Structure 1
């Protein structure tokens, strides 16, 4: 008796729930033949917006279920090159079959791609660095906070529009960095295939020796222009544009932009990655006597570079990069060692953003001559410094990284001792 009663109650609940669900939207019920959507779908098929059933036919004389109708509407919604009249008709159909499209999970890959064509990622970063007391760097701790938002919008199957927004603040003074409380549009560019190359056009990030894990000796900053990458195992990257001279590490003035042109070659085979290239920078400000010329000795400079990475084992990688400038250090009162820059680094493992507890260690020696670099990438060594660097990055949790870097060296020209500790806590989303 008790078992029969429980069975009866359970059956009633299941049937009641099912009745409620199908009353709201039953994808298997037929659409009445005189429903307005028949004429709407017929018109869309005539206009070539949809192709009917999966076999490419539209069976005008056959009954259509709401499920089948929703499938055709989904395909129509995924189309972008339609007339205004057809677009209005599609919107009306989408509203009519909203339950089938959304609640019952009727999915078409093109529809999903179209509806999810804008993606947002980003990070929150807290940085701190402290130098020993010296004539150039005081011993204060400098703290900064950064909120970065990355936007990726799909234009079509081949092209994307990307942007980067940065907002910074001073952690020391609890106010905006440099007194500027604003969000900056750091990058905005389109990326896709053109002339047989992977192409970027707009304002994007420039990075030398991109094929190497230890690249970035010459430049790691943003510029406005175009970039073309050809090839697979052997890659050729050609970049041309303009660079704000405020972003040049050894100049730091913002009264003009410099013309930037570079060609980089990268080759990867098995355990070895090789890179080489040439970078040309020219100040396009007329009559400037306080910035570019006083630092490089001329209104233009050329920099050659080579580099390599070699996987010693599963966990160890050794790599290096060397750059040489055609500028004359004597013209600007520098030590001749400022005409070249080099870095050698031994790396153990590496932190993986999606694996909590993963980590990487490295030891390096770097000499970053100011005349052979533009905006080097390192958190320890800086332009005009040489010395040893030790570093570790560790994933506290998935997408939460901490980094600590220790630098012990000196200024290249004055030989003044410099010690520096850099720390970072980063949350990616």
Structure 2
């Protein structure tokens, strides 16, 4: 049976046309503008015979279709394997665009992906600039760091088991020269080695286990699924992570992580006199409730590092553990409130039992907190969407492990403002500014200003 005939029989089963005023009145999705890339994409697929949009066999290109109608066509088209590469790439892109509508139709995008291709590639190309002025540094001039980063993230479906094999390959290079840049381990620190670097920093399998979404291998781990701060850690461990979505609408969750963590002294922004390096057994447990559109959100979590082995025989890590134990504990609590789908206020507080350096004169370094007010939400699939936020952060260097922040450094406190903006579909821009103080120097009138600016552009594929 010819490709056009087979697909026409399937897609011809659509019983709802764009001209149906009854459906349009009840349809909860907005119309897709006739000049959007999605409309043009479906037009091309129709012209190629991949979809025939209406029961009478015609494609009414002069009318605006609803997102729901387009999602129906995409769902049908993604089950086809006898289409050329260009049309298949277009169908995959449409599936990403209409993933929410496909889910509402009861069609899981991952199930369709399995039918269309056993291996799926994704990734990101990033360019960023970071400038830091630190009065406590030997060179008090502003340092400037510009970098390129390419991430490739292959995903392979393991039969019909519901499991996938995943990896992340990262290439890093200084923007000033093709062969001169900080290594991946130096990415959040100023300076670096005189070479580019490539590393596979994640390699794991993911699937259903013990009623959870399980990840096994060298897995990504991120603290705070509720507010998305990553205040304690944003890194990888060699071990396992289990995430249970709870409740009818999955607004509650529990997450457990266990494994071996390799802590690198260059993992955080800025240079600290008390940086430490080594490996340790890592464990974490987190529970949270995330308000959907309005209401209260909450977080409670616990993290630990034990059996710490300092790098290169150094005792620089263990000097900050409790004197009578090789285990360090971190506790975190957080509360937030969504006033509506656009405005959210939240705060987190963290405390560790790490000792501070002898004769330490600065602020309390065994605590950290973050208070943030956020407006709107940028969505990389929706050009023109944006968010604006303002936050106050206090990040004791003994209260966090490897936070995700780009310019808010451990051993600092201060104000930060930021903007995210979706420039185009799959293109996101960000600008951040931080004005603060070095905790380890902000006493007895010492100069301790720490100011930073950060900008980046991400291209997702």
- Give the CA deviation at 1:308: 2.5
* Stretches of structure 1 lacking an aligned partner (at least 5 in a row): 1-20, 28-99
Hey, what does 2:175 align to over in structure 1?
171
Cα separation, partners in 2 of 1:410 and 1:230, compared to 1, 3 Å: same
Hey, what does 2:69 align to over in structure 1?
none
Counterpart Cα distance in 1 of 2:343 and 2:143: 35
Hey, what does 2:152 align to over in structure 1?
149
Cα separation, partners in 2 of 1:231 and 1:353, compared to 1, 3 Å: closer
Greater displacement, 404-413 / 291-300: 291-300
Q: 2:143 aligns with which of 134, 140, 143?
A: 140
Counterpart Cα distance in 2 of 1:153 and 1:380: 35
Counterpart Cα distance in 1 of 2:111 and 2:298: 40
Hey, what does 2:99 align to over in structure 1?
none
Hey, what does 1:284 align to over in structure 2?
308
Hey, what does 1:230 align to over in structure 2?
244
Counterpart Cα distance in 2 of 1:422 and 1:112: 36
- Give the CA deviation at 1:412: 1.1
Asked if the contact 2:291/2:338 (under 8 Å) is kept, the reply is: no
Q: 1:184 aligns with which of 196, 199, 213?
A: 199
Cα separation, partners in 2 of 1:371 and 1:401, compared to 1, 3 Å: same
Greater displacement, 126-135 / 365-374: 126-135
Cα separation, partners in 2 of 1:246 and 1:112, compared to 1, 3 Å: closer
Hey, what does 2:259 align to over in structure 1?
241
Counterpart Cα distance in 1 of 2:219 and 2:113: 28
- Provide Cα deviations, 1:116-161, integer angstroms capped at 9, x if missing partner: 0211111110111111252326512111110001111111331111
- Give the CA deviation at 1:361: 0.4
Hey, what does 1:199 align to over in structure 2?
214
- Give the CA deviation at 1:283: 4.6
Cα separation, partners in 2 of 1:183 and 1:288, compared to 1, 3 Å: closer
Q: 1:350 aligns with which of 377, 383, 406?
A: 377
Counterpart Cα distance in 1 of 2:296 and 2:145: 38
Residue aligned with 2:407, SS: coil
Hey, what does 1:401 align to over in structure 2?
428
Hey, what does 2:121 align to over in structure 1?
120
Counterpart Cα distance in 2 of 1:124 and 1:118: 20
Asked if the contact 1:404/1:422 (under 8 Å) is kept, the reply is: yes
Counterpart Cα distance in 2 of 1:422 and 1:101: 44
Cα separation, partners in 2 of 1:268 and 1:25, compared to 1, 3 Å: closer
Residue aligned with 2:264, SS: helix
- Give the CA deviation at 1:315: 1.3
Cα separation, partners in 2 of 1:191 and 1:138, compared to 1, 3 Å: farther
Hey, what does 2:355 align to over in structure 1?
328
Cα separation, partners in 2 of 1:164 and 1:172, compared to 1, 3 Å: same
Counterpart Cα distance in 2 of 1:129 and 1:253: 23
RMSD: 3.0
Counterpart Cα distance in 1 of 2:306 and 2:168: 26
Cα separation, partners in 2 of 1:26 and 1:425, compared to 1, 3 Å: closer
Cα separation, partners in 2 of 1:117 and 1:369, compared to 1, 3 Å: same
Residue aligned with 1:290, SS: coil
* Bigger-Rg structure (1/2): 1
Query: How many residues are aligned here?
Result: 331
Hey, what does 2:453 align to over in structure 1?
421
- Provide Cα deviations, 1:188-246, integer angstroms capped at 9, x if missing partner: 01111112221111111111121223x31111111111011234143221111111121
Cα separation, partners in 2 of 1:115 and 1:315, compared to 1, 3 Å: closer
* Stretches of structure 2 lacking an aligned partner (at least 5 in a row): 7-79, 88-109, 183-192, 443-447
More helix by share: 1
Residue aligned with 1:141, SS: strand
Counterpart Cα distance in 2 of 1:361 and 1:272: 20
In the alignment, is residue 260 of structure 1 matched against residue 301 of structure 2?
no
Hey, what does 1:36 align to over in structure 2?
none
- Give the CA deviation at 1:328: 2.3
Asked if the contact 1:245/1:252 (under 8 Å) is kept, the reply is: no
Hey, what does 2:235 align to over in structure 1?
221
Hey, what does 1:71 align to over in structure 2?
none
Counterpart Cα distance in 2 of 1:103 and 1:378: 44
